[in-house]
Amino acid sequence: MRTGSIARTTHETDIKVSVNLDGTGTFDVNTGIGFLDHMIEQFSRHSLIDVTCHVKGDLHVDQHHTTEDSAIALGQAISQALGDKKGIARYGTAYSPMDEALARVALDISGRPVLIWRASFTQPRLGEMDTELFEHWFQSISQAAGITLHIECLYGSNNHHIIEGIYKGFARAMRSAVEIDPRKGDAVPSTKGILGG
């Protein structure tokens, strides 16, 4: 089983995250931000990556540190679970329709973190979560897991549908990318022999 576990305590957050890449999409999520919990749960369910994510953050200040650190720890746990990345498919792409909204996510577990973000919102909050923090969440998980990540909302009008489509697209793309390709054996999917250089 490819698993990873991160415990991280700072003056801003106390966080424990664990993942199982070969799971069934079970989750136990409590960040203190209800909408963020919902999105991480969507990620787990649709990627089939089991996720435990418990965060106690300085929400009396704002949501920034909790959002950022949940993504950093989740990305670190995924990176740990991937290990040397031998045999993984590496690439994943998904179109994710959510009612009137359509998201497209393409990613490469390359070891070279890049986020291209082409999505916007017409309201400042969803539930109690600041919509400006969604891009930052994906930037943080991209950095921590070493993912080249391209995210676009091709169209859509409902803010909830837009971001939920993005998270589900990310999940489906990750599911494809972390799966073991039986044709690759234990080869690292790179002509360099390593990922991240």
Q: For 79-138, how does the pLDDT look when each residue is reduced to its tens digit (9 = 90+)? A: 999 999 999 999 999 999 999 999 999 999 999 999 999 999 999 999 999 999 999 999
pLDDT confidence of 196, banded at 50, 70, 90? low
For the chain, give every domain's residue range.
Answer: 3-178
| Torsional class of 155: left (φ above 0), alpha (ψ -120 to 50), beta (otherwise) | beta
| pLDDT for 184 beyond 80 | no
DSSP assigned state of 156:
-
CA distance 116 to 107: 10
Mean pLDDT of the chain: 95
pLDDT at res. 86: 92
Angle at the Cα of 26 from the Cα atoms of 41 and 134, rounded to 5 degrees: 20
pLDDT at 150 over 70: yes
Question: Residue 185: what pLDDT?
Answer: 72
pLDDT at 183: 80
Q: Which band of pLDDT confidence, cut at 50, 70 and 90, is reported for residue 186?
A: confident
For residue 181, pLDDT over 80 is answered with yes
Question: What average pLDDT does this structure show over 23-36?
Answer: 98
Token duo for residue 76:
């670190």
At residue 193, the pLDDT reads 60
CATH topology of domain 3-178: Ribosomal Protein S5; domain 2 (3.30.230)
Whether residue 22 has pLDDT greater than 90: yes
Question: Would you say the pTM of this structure is higher than 0.85?
Answer: yes
Indicate if the alpha-carbon torsion angle 127, 5, 177, 24 is positive or negative: negative
Taking 80 as the threshold, does the pLDDT of residue 191 lie above it?
no
Q: What is the pLDDT of residue 21?
A: 98
Measured in whole angstroms, the distance separating CA 20 from the mean position of its chain's CA atoms is: 14
